[in-house]
Structures are given as C-alpha cells and as structure tokens.
Amino acid sequence: MLGLATATIAAILPDADLRLKHRKSLHNVFAPLLLASLFALLFPDNKYIIPCMSGLLIGWLSHVLLDFLTVKGVYALYPLSGARFRLGLCKSDSITCNLLLSLVALAMIIARVGALLRAFT
C-alpha cells in the first residue's frame, strides 16, 4: 500500500517543473534515480525504503513514459543531452488519448487487484 501511495505522488511530481525548464528539469531518468538514491542514503535501515523507492521510480518513470508518447515529448537524458525523445502519438490535452490511457490503466489496476484477491483465497 505504501508503494502505491508513493507511486501516486511520484507520478505527479515531474510536473513541478512547469515554471522551470518544463519536460527537461524533472522529465528525465536522472531526477527519480537521484531522489531514490538520496532516500536510500538517508534511510538505509528503514524497512519501508524498498516500497517507497519502488513506488517513486514506477510513478515518476510512468509519467515520463506517458509524456514520451506526446507530440512535445521529453528530454529523457537532460542534462547530459538536449535531445528530445517523442513518439508523437497524441497531444497531452487530447481527451481521446487521455481517456484511452485511463482505461488501460484501470484495466491494469483491475487485473492486479484480481490477482491479489485470487492469491488470498
């Protein structure tokens, strides 16, 4: 449950760079790795560190991956590279794209909950 809560919060955090270099400062692979490493150094013996770090990486990188699908893309290797990566499948404000991705996410959650319920019965 802690990992899920952390993933939910971490999935929102990359957009904290809206007023900075948006899709550069926090929409890269280094920001979540740096943050997860910092937590691991600060709390090395904490029993909750693995679920928190896992949730952080999953949530953050899923956000970056979804923005990679958009026309604007992401600067995934910033600050080492100024190259923009994108598939250009949709715009981030597209209702159709967001609805479709939400349905896929909902299906994945339902499948995971179903698997968990079967494991406990």
Tell me the whole-structure pTM to 2 decimals. 0.79
In this predicted structure, what is the pLDDT of residue 7? 87
The domain ranges of the chain are 2-89, 90-121
Amino acid sitting at position 114: G
pLDDT tens by residue, the chain, 121 residues = 787 888 889 999 998 887 777 778 899 999 999 998 998 888 888 888 888 888 899 999 999 998 999 999 999 999 899 999 999 998 988 999 889 988 988 888 788 788 878 888 7
Element (H, E) at 44: none
Alpha helices in the chain, H assignment, sequence order: 2-12, 30-42, 49-68, 95-119
